[in-house]
Chains A and B, each alone.
Chain A
Amino acid sequence: MADRTKIPRPRPTPETQHFWDGTREGRLLIQACNDCGHVYFPPRPFCPSCSSRNVDVLEASGDATLYSYVINHRPHPGFDGPYAIAVVTLAEGPRMMTNIVNCDQTPDALQLDMPLKVTFERLTDDITLPYFEPVGDAS
């Protein structure tokens, strides 16, 4: 049985704190550049595309598609294996690593480009992790 306390805990920095404040409130926050329009993740207080410091935080829709994944078969104390380590593409463009929850961890159930929706799991008082789950009545 997975021991969720064995999941590595993110330690926020001043540049990423807004992201972790957001997930705690059930919001997925990304950033956008006011000068060139680039939407990006992971967080930083300037635009990685044009170097402008004129950037804003914005709330993502939470809609995403499955970009790629592996199903890890080696035992991890924080997970019931085998489990998929996935990368999803947000509707807004940026990609993020995640796990696909409420879904069988099999190649049949995990089809690339399937639509996904963000969901959150509280890990500690400070850290809530964003995960993604299939949209609709997929397994």
Chain B
Amino acid sequence: MKPGSIAIVGAAETTELGKIPGMSQTQLHADAALNALDDCGIKMVDVDGIATAGESPINLAHYLGIVPTWVDGTGVGGCSFMLHVRHAAAAIAEGLCSTVLITHGESGRSGVGRGGFGGGSASLAAQFESPYGPMGPPSMFTIPVLRYMKDFGLTVEQLALIAVIQREWAALNPRSSYKEPLTVDDVLNERMIAYPFTKLMCCLVTDGGGALILTSAERAADFPTKPVYLLGTGESVETPMVSQMDDFTSSRAFRVASRKAFAESGVHHSDVDHLMIYDAFAHLPIYGLEDLGFCERGEAGAFIGERHTAIGGKLPVNTNGGGLSYMHSGMYGMYALQESVRQLRGTAAAQIEGAKISVAHGVGGMFAASGTIVMSNEKP
């Protein structure tokens, strides 16, 4: 940030202060946010960046109706908002977003709709989804797929094939959790978890971790490793409630994040040598291929069927075996990035010959959040 380049233009507190038993904690955020918009004469639709602490920025973006291209949920206690201001300044200066909303709301005295102990059941998801018996990602992340299958004619065999092809990749990787070959029938005959998903269409549950170190391209020359340069990045969130996704056949968060990343990078889809799409469940690569723009709507099932994402295909996808066969500890995005780095260093177990550009695309929650990173081993 250049000094004097970023300004605070709107500021307001909640309508009342003191004792506010008539508002939940989330609504205190919203009340302050609406007042700040009024203060500077803009609408929520003008806001494209959101930062908050003590409340999920996903919850808040959905509650307020914001489509963000920048999201910060840094929570380090009472000074979180100073960090948000600093991060927002960097983001605006970098063009990641243009107008940031930073909110605070806390029902510290009345304790209305507070998270944490005994407060979980007051969230919108707890009120309007939990009573209907969802049991975590396997029975929630999967809910949209029947709509996709009906609208685009995707078959359950095409869905199963995704697990089969990823197992083929995993077989090349000594660190994969599962390497034995699979057939479509093997996948379909496995135990049903949440129709139409059998166990082999759901990610593994394993232990593990990963870490990355970043520095400037200038300093990278001083390191012994082959640098992987960032070309473009994108992020967004949609809703913490899968039932409230705009369209069950497409993820808005995927579209917003990836568009931003591709635009920043200047990379064309046909230039991409390697792609990682976070595959918590077998339908994720379908949504990813289409929402990132590699396939037209409704065509990803056939694209995978033609083995374009498989070994020897024109767009190798999830070359480590993915969350379905490599590993999945819970927040798999780190492993997608690790595989992109290995491919661009030329050290992957299933190395793509001459890979220069890799895209790693991640999901958070159940289509709730998304991040896309475009990388290269060559400086543009």
Contacts and interface: CB of A to CB of B under 8 A. Distances in A.
Interface of A: 7-16, 41-42, 44-51, 53, 67-74, 76, 78-79, 82-83, 85-87, 95-99, 107, 112-113, 123, 129
B142 interface: yes
A72 B62 CA distance: 26
Interface stretch (B5-13, B143-151, B181-189, B305-313): B143-151
B107 to A, nearest CB: 10
B128 A96 contact: yes
Contacts of A99: 132-133
Interface residues of B, number: 53
Nearest to B38: A51
Contact of B133 (A13, A44, A78, A95): A78
Interface of A is mostly: loop
Nearest to B150: A112
Contacts of B26: 13, 15
A70 B368 CA distance: 18
B34 to A, nearest CB: 6
B380 interface: no
A48 B243 contact: no
Given A8-B121, A42-B244, A70-B146, A50 B195 contact: no
B262 interface: no
Given A13-B27, A72-B139, A87 B134 contact: no
Contacts of B194: 70-74, 85
16 contacts: A10-B121, A10-B128, A13-B24, A15-B27, A41-B128, A50-B45, A51-B37, A51-B43, A68-B143, A70-B145, A73-B193, A74-B135, A85-B139, A99-B132, A112-B147, A123-B131
A2 to B, nearest CB: 10
Given A79-B133, A85-B132, A96 B192 contact: no
Contacts of A41: 128
B34 A46 contact: yes
Given A16-B127, A48-B64, A51-B37, A70 B197 contact: yes
Nearest to B118: A11
A134 to B, nearest CB: 17
Interface of B: 21-24, 26-27, 30, 34, 37, 43-45, 62-65, 112-113, 121-122, 124, 126-135, 138-140, 142-147, 150, 191-197, 241-244, 248
Contacts of A11: 121-122, 126-127
Contacts of B244: 42, 95
A76 B135 contact: yes
Given A9-B121, A10-B126, A72 B22 contact: no
Contacts of A50: 43-45
A15 B24 contact: yes
Contacts of B144: 68
Q: Give the 9 A-B CB pairs with smallest separation, nearest first.
A: A48-B65, A13-B24, A71-B195, A10-B127, A68-B147, A97-B243, A8-B130, A70-B194, A51-B44
Given A68-B143, A129-B131, 13 more contacts: A8-B126, A10-B121, A14-B23, A14-B27, A15-B23, A41-B128, A44-B27, A48-B62, A48-B63, A72-B133, A73-B193, A99-B133, A107-B195
A79 B130 CA distance: 12
Nearest to A38: B65
A129 B131 CA distance: 8
Contacts of A14: 21-24, 27, 112
A40 to B, nearest CB: 9
A14 to B, nearest CB: 5
User: Looking at A10, A47, A96, A99, which has the most chain B CB atoms within 10 Å of its CB?
Assistant: A10
A97 B124 CA distance: 12
Contacts of B45: 50-51
A41 B30 CA distance: 16
B243 A96 contact: yes
B241 A97 contact: yes
Contact of B63 (A44, A76, A85): A44
A121 B192 CA distance: 29
B195 A82 contact: yes
Nearest to B121: A11
User: Looking at A12, A45, A46, A107, which has the most chain B CB atoms within 10 Å of its CB?
Assistant: A46
Contacts of B37: 51
B27 A69 contact: no
Nearest to B192: A73
Contacts of B196: 70, 107
